[in-house]
Copies of this chain bind each other. A is one copy, B any other.
Amino acid sequence: MELVTKYKPIIDRAIQAIHERTFFAQYPEHPSPAIYGEEADKKGREKFQAQVGKKFEELLQGESSKWIGDEESPYLQEPLKISYPSYSVEELLSRADKAFHQWRKVKADKRAAILVESLERVKERFFEIAYATMHTTGQGYMMAFQASGPHAADRALEALAMGYEELTRFPEKTVWDKPMGKYNLTLNKEWRAIPKGVGVVIGCSTFPTWNSVPGMYASLVTGNPVIIKPHPGAVLPIAIFVAEVQKVLQEEGLDPNICQLGVDSFSNMITKELVEDPRVKIIDYTGNSTFGNYLEGLKDKFVFTEKTGVNSAIIDSAEDIDKVIGNLAFSLSLYSGQMCTAPQNFYIPASGIKTANGTVSFDEFAKKFADNVQGLIDNPKAGPFVLGAIQNKNTCDRVDQVENSKHKVVLSSGVIENPMFKNARIATPVVLEVDATQKEDFSQELFGPIALLIKTKDTAQSVALAKEMALKHGAISCGAYTTDPETREMIADEMSLAATPVSFNLTGGIYVNQHAGFSDFHVTGGNPAGNASFTNPEYVIKRFTWVGFREPV
């Protein structure tokens, strides 16, 4: 069946989901044999293992004389020795520029269908991508599967569906017929959505597909060729996405260079040379704020960033403090605090937390929290899999540094054994007590398994500090606990002015870290944590220009 006809129902359903914002997933998140097949996991693992130490030869973007690769596994702490073709910036850009003029003339429905087909093929490789993600990011198996596979594919589908909706929002043609009294002025009018030009997507080391595919698919569906510039430490997961897109393009008689992979190495980074070229019009970026701010400051570019933030948990009152603590301890521990949505600053009133069973003092909270984290990581059936491994050694150094600061240590960071990977790079969470007056010590992102319990005068001060941090330094998430409706509204209103989404009273199996495709806008774009949002209309609209033509009938 022709792709456009085949995938129209999926695209229509995705657009509907974007508007309903209720639960929707095109790609099942559970790595279940019943869904993905009995052999899928085993085959995926074998395929990944067969790739280790070899050239990645699936790309269709032309010969390269040089092969490079810097990935190493945080679980094995040794290089993967996978190599990728290397191209000069000029090679990448001249090919992209050529491909632009072919791709921009492909109809929007065809572009969207090609992109859905690529996701359907990636679906067949979710397990391989999961192992590739584990051994580049250090994520646990379940997160690696979900985040890099189905959740990423859903975010890609969301972005392309939003793009398709915007591209078809105005009529291609219409007759404009103006009554002038004795006669009518009649014009044929036409509108075209003109893509901006070459896009570059700059990946990060911790979520190499989830954070990159929205920009990649948003640029592609709106007619822009893209160059994916992955983090040198996490290439393979996104390389598989790119390879599948290229294969579909080639089968459809199109230039595979519409979507290129531009790998670089730690010793020879190409990003600046790439993005500063005038041919590059669109930049998508996930990473640190310093480089993100540099990108946002580039002239004549459309830049979409997710940078860093200082996330907060505001604890005012609760029905059951143990459930609250269980939830927060898991949120901190999940992938060792290496999620952009992980809470860092926990604001707790000095007078304690009102609960159904009386007030829980600051010290009681601190002890219960430390005990809960310790219990979680000491549980052999949970700890190693929840924590995963530390992607970058610098994160371990940061944990040490924080632990050796002047503040009271509520829980020390340590090491646990991962039964499957004896050599895994691990640092369990460190928890410190900080006073609200020591603002300089909690006014920055401390990436990794680091929690600060901040003693405030009262909830009003907690909220004021969380808001100030979000306004000044950015924030991607806020978890708040209160049983008082007025306090709830006060928190919602104040944090909304800092463009920070708030999850209230989460307990049980749902965490502040999780942002669901088709429902939660990930990063609002309204504070320094980033100027873009997965996926609001702005995210796709800025990638093309409406241009009109008219002529008398």
- A: which residues have CB within 8 A of B? 19-23, 30, 166, 169-171, 174-181, 185, 187, 189, 191-192, 194, 196, 492, 495-497, 499-510, 516, 519-521, 524-526, 533, 536-538, 541-542, 545-552
Contact = CB atoms under 8 A, between A and B. Distances in A.
Contacts of A196: 526
Contact of A185 (B175, B510, B524): B510
A541 B550 contact: no
A499 B549 contact: no
Per CB-CB distance, the 6 closest pairs between chain A and chain B, nearest first, are A526-B545, A504-B551, A23-B178, A501-B548, A496-B547, A499-B545
Contacts of A187: 510
26 contacts: A21-B174, A22-B174, A22-B176, A23-B176, A23-B178, A180-B509, A187-B510, A192-B496, A196-B526, A495-B547, A496-B547, A501-B549, A501-B550, A502-B549, A502-B550, A505-B551, A505-B552, A506-B552, A521-B548, A524-B547, A526-B547, A533-B546, A536-B541, A537-B537, A538-B538, A541-B541
A177 B169 CA distance: 29
- Count of this chain's copies in the oligomeric assembly: 2
Contact of A492 (B499, B503, B525, B549): B549
A176 B22 CA distance: 5
A194 B516 contact: no
A23 B541 CA distance: 24
A526 B180 CA distance: 32
A490 to B, nearest CB: 13
A218 B507 CA distance: 40
A187 B191 CA distance: 41
A176 B503 CA distance: 13
Contacts of A166: 537
Given A499-B194, A499-B545, A516 B176 contact: yes
A21 B171 contact: yes
B189 A519 contact: yes
A492 B524 CA distance: 37
A423 B313 CA distance: 71
Contacts of A19: 169-171
Contacts of A492: 192, 549
Nearest to A193: B496
A166 to B, nearest CB: 7
A28 to B, nearest CB: 11
Given A509-B180, A526-B547, A536-B546, A170 B552 contact: no
A537 B169 CA distance: 10
A534 to B, nearest CB: 11
B180 A552 contact: no
Contact of A552 (B189, B499, B507, B552): B507
Contacts of A500: 547
A521 to B, nearest CB: 5
A525 B509 CA distance: 46
A550 B551 CA distance: 50
Contacts of A495: 547
A504 B549 contact: yes
Nearest to A183: B509
A504 B194 contact: no
A21 B526 contact: no
Given A524-B545, A537-B166, A547-B496, A552 B171 contact: no
A35 to B, nearest CB: 12
A287 to B, nearest CB: 20
A301 to B, nearest CB: 12
A516 B178 CA distance: 10
A314 to B, nearest CB: 13
A541 to B, nearest CB: 5
Contacts of A496: 192, 194, 547
Contact of A177 (B23, B30, B171): B23
Nearest to A30: B181
Contacts of A548: 501, 520-521
Contacts of A22: 174-177
Contacts of A549: 492, 501-504
A449 to B, nearest CB: 25
A192 B497 CA distance: 11
A180 B520 CA distance: 18
A339 B21 CA distance: 45
Contact of A520 (B497, B506, B550): B550
A32 to B, nearest CB: 9
A515 to B, nearest CB: 9
A118 to B, nearest CB: 26
Nearest to A502: B549
B526 A176 contact: no
A410 B120 CA distance: 65
Given A23-B177, A23-B179, A496-B547, 7 more contacts: A185-B508, A185-B509, A189-B520, A501-B549, A503-B549, A504-B550, A536-B541
A495 B505 CA distance: 54
A548 B515 CA distance: 11
Nearest to A551: B504
A547 B536 CA distance: 11
